[in-house]
Structure 1
Protein backbone atom coordinates (compact mmCIF):
# COMPACT_ATOMS: atom_id res chain seq x y z
CA UNK A 1 0.00 0.00 0.00
CA UNK A 2 2.81 2.43 0.88
CA UNK A 3 4.45 1.69 -2.47
CA UNK A 4 1.18 2.60 -4.24
CA UNK A 5 0.97 5.94 -2.38
CA UNK A 6 4.64 6.66 -3.10
CA UNK A 7 4.07 6.02 -6.84
CA UNK A 8 0.98 8.25 -6.89
CA UNK A 9 2.90 11.04 -5.16
CA UNK A 10 5.83 10.68 -7.58
CA UNK A 11 3.41 10.76 -10.54
CA UNK A 12 1.74 13.94 -9.23
CA UNK A 13 5.13 15.57 -8.66
CA UNK A 14 6.27 14.62 -12.17
CA UNK A 15 3.10 16.12 -13.69
CA UNK A 16 3.58 19.29 -11.65
CA UNK A 17 7.21 19.70 -12.80
CA UNK A 18 6.27 19.10 -16.45
CA UNK A 19 3.32 21.54 -16.28
CA UNK A 20 5.37 24.19 -14.48
CA UNK A 21 8.21 23.86 -17.03
CA UNK A 22 5.73 24.22 -19.89
CA UNK A 23 4.31 27.39 -18.32
CA UNK A 24 7.79 28.86 -17.90
CA UNK A 25 8.63 28.07 -21.52
CA UNK A 26 5.37 29.67 -22.68
CA UNK A 27 6.05 32.80 -20.63
CA UNK A 28 9.61 33.02 -21.96
CA UNK A 29 8.33 32.66 -25.53
CA UNK A 30 6.21 35.77 -25.02
CA UNK A 31 8.99 37.98 -23.71
CA UNK A 32 11.41 40.08 -25.72
CA UNK A 33 14.84 40.76 -24.29
CA UNK A 34 14.90 44.51 -23.72
CA UNK A 35 17.26 46.70 -21.74
CA UNK A 36 17.10 49.72 -19.49
CA UNK A 37 16.86 53.06 -21.28
CA UNK A 38 20.05 55.12 -21.37
CA UNK A 39 18.43 58.50 -21.87
CA UNK A 40 15.51 58.29 -19.41
CA UNK A 41 15.57 57.25 -15.78
CA UNK A 42 12.56 54.96 -15.65
CA UNK A 43 12.05 51.32 -14.67
CA UNK A 44 11.55 48.52 -17.16
CA UNK A 45 8.01 47.14 -17.51
CA UNK A 46 7.47 43.80 -15.77
CA UNK A 47 7.09 42.24 -19.24
CA UNK A 48 7.66 43.42 -22.80
CA UNK A 49 6.92 41.44 -25.95
CA UNK A 50 7.52 42.73 -29.46
CA UNK A 51 5.40 40.41 -31.56
CA UNK A 52 7.57 38.05 -33.58
CA UNK A 53 10.74 38.84 -31.60
CA UNK A 54 12.21 37.27 -28.50
CA UNK A 55 15.88 38.10 -29.10
CA UNK A 56 17.00 41.44 -30.59
CA UNK A 57 17.70 42.88 -32.99
CA UNK A 58 14.00 42.62 -33.77
CA UNK A 59 13.22 42.33 -37.49
CA UNK A 60 10.38 44.77 -38.18
CA UNK A 61 8.77 44.71 -41.63
CA UNK A 62 8.60 48.02 -43.46
CA UNK A 63 5.05 49.33 -44.18
CA UNK A 64 3.54 47.27 -41.35
CA UNK A 65 2.70 47.83 -37.70
CA UNK A 66 5.23 46.74 -35.12
CA UNK A 67 3.21 45.58 -32.12
CA UNK A 68 4.68 46.02 -28.66
CA UNK A 69 2.85 44.53 -25.67
CA UNK A 70 3.84 45.70 -22.20
CA UNK A 71 2.75 44.95 -18.69
CA UNK A 72 3.69 47.38 -15.93
CA UNK A 73 2.58 48.59 -12.53
CA UNK A 74 1.42 52.20 -12.20
CA UNK A 75 3.97 53.89 -9.93
CA UNK A 76 1.46 56.55 -8.83
CA UNK A 77 -2.08 57.77 -9.52
CA UNK A 78 -2.20 59.07 -13.10
CA UNK A 79 -4.91 60.79 -15.11
CA UNK A 80 -3.22 60.38 -18.51
CA UNK A 81 -0.14 58.90 -20.18
CA UNK A 82 1.70 59.31 -23.49
CA UNK A 83 4.14 57.01 -25.25
CA UNK A 84 7.18 58.57 -26.89
CA UNK A 85 9.59 56.83 -29.24
CA UNK A 86 13.12 57.83 -30.14
CA UNK A 87 15.33 55.99 -32.61
CA UNK A 88 19.09 56.26 -32.04
CA UNK A 89 20.98 56.06 -35.33
CA UNK A 90 24.68 55.38 -35.02
CA UNK A 91 26.69 57.81 -37.16
CA UNK A 92 30.38 57.19 -36.58
CA UNK A 93 30.95 57.46 -32.84
CA UNK A 94 27.72 59.40 -32.20
CA UNK A 95 24.19 58.09 -31.57
CA UNK A 96 21.91 60.58 -33.32
CA UNK A 97 18.46 60.77 -31.60
CA UNK A 98 15.54 60.83 -34.02
CA UNK A 99 12.12 61.37 -32.38
CA UNK A 100 9.48 59.15 -33.99
CA UNK A 101 5.92 60.49 -34.06
CA UNK A 102 3.49 57.78 -33.03
CA UNK A 103 0.49 59.93 -33.94
CA UNK A 104 -2.76 58.82 -32.31
CA UNK A 105 -0.95 55.70 -31.04
CA UNK A 106 0.94 57.89 -28.58
CA UNK A 107 -2.16 58.21 -26.37
CA UNK A 108 -1.28 55.38 -23.99
CA UNK A 109 -4.61 55.41 -22.15
CA UNK A 110 -6.44 54.62 -25.41
CA UNK A 111 -4.47 51.40 -25.79
CA UNK A 112 -4.59 49.92 -22.30
CA UNK A 113 -5.92 46.37 -22.59
CA UNK A 114 -7.23 45.81 -19.07
CA UNK A 115 -7.98 49.28 -17.68
CA UNK A 116 -8.72 52.86 -18.55
CA UNK A 117 -7.45 56.18 -17.27
CA UNK A 118 -7.34 57.46 -14.63
CA UNK A 119 -5.28 54.67 -13.05
CA UNK A 120 -4.38 54.09 -9.42
CA UNK A 121 -0.93 53.60 -7.94
CA UNK A 122 -0.07 49.90 -7.78
CA UNK A 123 -2.52 48.93 -10.55
CA UNK A 124 -1.12 46.37 -13.03
CA UNK A 125 -1.65 47.64 -16.57
CA UNK A 126 -1.58 45.85 -19.91
CA UNK A 127 -0.74 48.02 -22.90
CA UNK A 128 -0.43 47.44 -26.65
CA UNK A 129 1.49 49.91 -28.80
CA UNK A 130 1.22 49.86 -32.58
CA UNK A 131 4.03 51.62 -34.43
CA UNK A 132 3.81 51.85 -38.21
CA UNK A 133 7.18 51.32 -39.90
CA UNK A 134 7.27 54.06 -42.52
CA UNK A 135 8.77 53.75 -46.00
CA UNK A 136 11.37 56.44 -45.22
CA UNK A 137 13.12 53.85 -43.01
CA UNK A 138 15.07 51.95 -45.68
CA UNK A 139 15.22 48.16 -45.55
CA UNK A 140 18.41 47.19 -43.74
CA UNK A 141 18.35 50.17 -41.36
CA UNK A 142 19.51 49.19 -37.89
CA UNK A 143 18.73 51.47 -34.96
CA UNK A 144 18.09 51.21 -31.26
CA UNK A 145 14.68 52.46 -30.18
CA UNK A 146 13.59 53.68 -26.78
CA UNK A 147 9.88 53.55 -25.97
CA UNK A 148 9.02 55.59 -22.90
CA UNK A 149 5.71 56.20 -21.24
CA UNK A 150 5.27 59.47 -19.36
CA UNK A 151 2.40 60.72 -17.23
CA UNK A 152 0.40 63.95 -17.40
CA UNK A 153 3.31 65.91 -15.91
CA UNK A 154 5.90 64.29 -18.27
CA UNK A 155 7.33 62.24 -15.40
CA UNK A 156 8.63 58.86 -16.63
CA UNK A 157 6.52 55.78 -15.92
CA UNK A 158 8.44 53.00 -17.75
CA UNK A 159 10.98 52.84 -20.55
CA UNK A 160 12.45 50.07 -22.74
CA UNK A 161 15.38 50.06 -25.13
CA UNK A 162 15.65 47.55 -27.97
CA UNK A 163 17.72 47.22 -31.16
CA UNK A 164 15.66 46.80 -34.36
CA UNK A 165 16.36 46.08 -38.01
CA UNK A 166 13.99 47.12 -40.82
CA UNK A 167 13.24 44.25 -43.22
CA UNK A 168 11.23 43.88 -46.43
CA UNK A 169 7.45 43.69 -46.05
Structure 2
Protein backbone atom coordinates (compact mmCIF):
# COMPACT_ATOMS: atom_id res chain seq x y z
CA UNK A 1 0.00 0.00 0.00
CA UNK A 2 1.28 3.45 -0.88
CA UNK A 3 2.25 5.63 2.17
CA UNK A 4 0.09 8.54 1.01
CA UNK A 5 -2.99 6.29 0.88
CA UNK A 6 -2.34 5.13 4.47
CA UNK A 7 -2.06 8.76 5.59
CA UNK A 8 -5.25 9.58 3.67
CA UNK A 9 -7.14 6.76 5.41
CA UNK A 10 -5.82 7.82 8.81
CA UNK A 11 -6.89 11.41 8.13
CA UNK A 12 -10.41 10.26 7.15
CA UNK A 13 -10.63 8.13 10.30
CA UNK A 14 -9.61 11.07 12.52
CA UNK A 15 -12.15 13.38 10.83
CA UNK A 16 -14.93 10.78 11.16
CA UNK A 17 -14.05 10.12 14.81
CA UNK A 18 -14.06 13.87 15.60
CA UNK A 19 -17.44 14.26 13.87
CA UNK A 20 -18.91 11.40 15.92
CA UNK A 21 -17.60 12.94 19.15
CA UNK A 22 -19.12 16.31 18.20
CA UNK A 23 -22.46 14.64 17.44
CA UNK A 24 -22.42 12.83 20.78
CA UNK A 25 -21.61 16.07 22.62
CA UNK A 26 -24.44 17.89 20.79
CA UNK A 27 -26.88 15.30 22.18
CA UNK A 28 -25.84 15.81 25.80
CA UNK A 29 -27.12 18.34 28.29
CA UNK A 30 -24.75 19.44 31.03
CA UNK A 31 -26.32 18.14 34.24
CA UNK A 32 -24.84 17.67 37.69
CA UNK A 33 -25.02 15.23 40.56
CA UNK A 34 -28.08 15.65 42.77
CA UNK A 35 -27.56 17.47 46.06
CA UNK A 36 -30.79 16.57 47.85
CA UNK A 37 -31.38 13.04 46.55
CA UNK A 38 -29.24 9.98 46.05
CA UNK A 39 -28.56 8.27 42.74
CA UNK A 40 -25.76 7.96 40.24
CA UNK A 41 -25.58 10.19 37.19
CA UNK A 42 -26.86 8.50 34.02
CA UNK A 43 -24.36 7.76 31.23
CA UNK A 44 -26.05 10.46 29.16
CA UNK A 45 -28.83 13.00 29.66
CA UNK A 46 -30.31 15.12 26.89
CA UNK A 47 -33.02 17.72 27.43
CA UNK A 48 -34.40 18.60 24.01
CA UNK A 49 -33.38 22.10 22.99
CA UNK A 50 -30.78 22.45 25.74
CA UNK A 51 -27.09 21.67 25.90
CA UNK A 52 -26.13 24.26 28.52
CA UNK A 53 -28.29 25.14 31.54
CA UNK A 54 -30.28 26.94 32.51
CA UNK A 55 -32.57 25.09 30.12
CA UNK A 56 -35.34 27.27 28.67
CA UNK A 57 -38.58 25.27 28.97
CA UNK A 58 -41.68 26.74 27.31
CA UNK A 59 -44.98 26.88 29.21
CA UNK A 60 -47.80 24.64 27.94
CA UNK A 61 -45.38 22.25 26.24
CA UNK A 62 -43.69 19.01 27.16
CA UNK A 63 -40.10 19.16 28.29
CA UNK A 64 -38.53 16.00 26.84
CA UNK A 65 -35.69 14.46 28.79
CA UNK A 66 -33.81 11.46 27.42
CA UNK A 67 -31.54 9.41 29.66
CA UNK A 68 -29.32 6.43 29.14
CA UNK A 69 -28.27 4.54 32.25
CA UNK A 70 -27.20 1.11 33.43
CA UNK A 71 -29.51 -0.80 35.77
CA UNK A 72 -27.57 -1.22 39.03
CA UNK A 73 -29.53 -4.37 39.91
CA UNK A 74 -32.50 -6.45 38.76
CA UNK A 75 -35.63 -4.30 39.06
CA UNK A 76 -39.28 -5.16 38.58
CA UNK A 77 -40.48 -1.55 38.45
CA UNK A 78 -39.21 2.01 38.57
CA UNK A 79 -40.70 5.42 39.27
CA UNK A 80 -39.51 8.89 38.27
CA UNK A 81 -39.83 11.76 40.73
CA UNK A 82 -39.21 15.45 40.12
CA UNK A 83 -38.56 18.11 42.74
CA UNK A 84 -38.03 21.80 42.02
CA UNK A 85 -35.85 23.70 44.48
CA UNK A 86 -36.94 27.33 44.77
CA UNK A 87 -34.85 29.98 46.49
CA UNK A 88 -36.82 32.34 48.70
CA UNK A 89 -34.35 34.72 50.27
CA UNK A 90 -31.68 32.57 51.88
CA UNK A 91 -33.97 29.53 52.13
CA UNK A 92 -34.38 26.77 49.55
CA UNK A 93 -37.85 25.24 49.42
CA UNK A 94 -38.39 21.80 47.82
CA UNK A 95 -41.52 21.65 45.66
CA UNK A 96 -42.43 18.12 44.46
CA UNK A 97 -43.79 18.08 40.90
CA UNK A 98 -46.36 15.40 40.09
CA UNK A 99 -45.46 13.71 36.81
CA UNK A 100 -48.75 11.78 36.75
CA UNK A 101 -48.73 8.77 34.42
CA UNK A 102 -45.29 9.86 33.16
CA UNK A 103 -43.82 8.85 36.53
CA UNK A 104 -44.10 5.15 35.60
CA UNK A 105 -40.55 4.82 34.28
CA UNK A 106 -41.01 1.31 32.86
CA UNK A 107 -43.72 2.58 30.49
CA UNK A 108 -41.25 5.01 28.92
CA UNK A 109 -38.20 2.82 28.37
CA UNK A 110 -37.43 2.91 24.65
CA UNK A 111 -35.23 -0.18 24.36
CA UNK A 112 -36.49 -2.53 27.08
CA UNK A 113 -39.37 -3.37 29.39
CA UNK A 114 -39.59 -4.25 33.06
CA UNK A 115 -38.40 -6.32 34.75
CA UNK A 116 -34.85 -5.32 33.84
CA UNK A 117 -31.62 -7.18 34.55
CA UNK A 118 -28.62 -5.95 36.50
CA UNK A 119 -26.11 -4.14 34.24
CA UNK A 120 -28.67 -3.77 31.42
CA UNK A 121 -28.30 -0.51 29.47
CA UNK A 122 -31.62 1.34 29.48
CA UNK A 123 -32.82 4.26 27.40
CA UNK A 124 -35.65 6.30 28.86
CA UNK A 125 -37.72 9.28 27.71
CA UNK A 126 -39.50 11.45 30.26
CA UNK A 127 -42.13 13.95 29.16
CA UNK A 128 -42.90 16.66 31.70
CA UNK A 129 -45.68 19.12 30.87
CA UNK A 130 -44.84 22.69 31.87
CA UNK A 131 -48.05 23.98 33.43
CA UNK A 132 -49.37 27.54 33.04
CA UNK A 133 -49.14 28.10 36.80
CA UNK A 134 -45.35 28.28 36.40
CA UNK A 135 -44.87 31.99 35.67
CA UNK A 136 -42.66 32.95 32.71
CA UNK A 137 -39.27 33.93 34.05
CA UNK A 138 -39.33 31.46 36.93
CA UNK A 139 -35.87 30.00 37.53
CA UNK A 140 -35.49 26.86 39.64
CA UNK A 141 -33.21 23.89 39.89
CA UNK A 142 -34.90 20.55 39.36
CA UNK A 143 -33.75 17.13 40.47
CA UNK A 144 -35.10 14.21 38.44
CA UNK A 145 -34.60 10.88 40.15
CA UNK A 146 -35.52 7.32 39.36
CA UNK A 147 -36.16 4.88 42.19
CA UNK A 148 -36.89 1.16 42.08
CA UNK A 149 -39.77 -0.86 43.54
CA UNK A 150 -38.33 -0.50 47.07
CA UNK A 151 -37.61 3.25 46.67
CA UNK A 152 -33.86 2.59 46.38
CA UNK A 153 -32.10 5.17 44.17
CA UNK A 154 -31.24 4.27 40.59
CA UNK A 155 -30.16 7.56 38.95
CA UNK A 156 -30.54 11.25 39.72
CA UNK A 157 -29.76 14.43 37.74
CA UNK A 158 -29.85 18.07 38.77
CA UNK A 159 -30.39 20.85 36.24
CA UNK A 160 -31.30 24.55 36.43
CA UNK A 161 -34.30 25.55 34.30
CA UNK A 162 -36.01 28.79 33.28
CA UNK A 163 -39.66 28.96 32.23
CA UNK A 164 -40.19 30.85 28.98
CA UNK A 165 -43.32 31.85 27.05
CA UNK A 166 -44.78 29.25 24.65
Whether these two folds match at TM > 0.5 is yes
Question: What residue in structure 1 maps to residue 132 of structure 2?
Answer: 135
DSSP-derived class of the 2:2 partner = helix
Question: What residue in structure 2 maps to residue 103 of structure 1?
Answer: 100
DSSP-derived class of the 1:14 partner = helix
Distance apart, 1:60 and its partner CA: 0.2
Identify unmatched segments of 5+ residues in structure 1: none
DSSP-derived class of the 2:124 partner = strand
1:16-165 correspondence to structure 2 within 5 Å: 16-165=13-162
Cα distance in 2 for residues equivalent to 1:117 and 1:136: 34
Cα distance in 1 for residues equivalent to 2:34 and 2:92: 14
Q: Deviations over 1:56-81 (max 9, x none)?
A: 00000000000000000000000000
Cα distance in 1 for residues equivalent to 2:107 and 2:81: 14
Superposition misfits of 4+ residues, deviation over 3 angstroms: none
- TM-score by length of structure 1 reads 0.97
Cα distance in 1 for residues equivalent to 2:158 and 2:38: 12
DSSP-derived class of the 1:122 partner = coil
Larger Rg computed on CA atoms: 1
Q: Deviations over 1:14-46 (max 9, x none)?
A: 000000000000000000000000011210000
Calculate the aligned-residue CA RMSD, in Å. Answer: 0.6
Question: What residue in structure 1 maps to residue 4 of structure 2?
Answer: 7
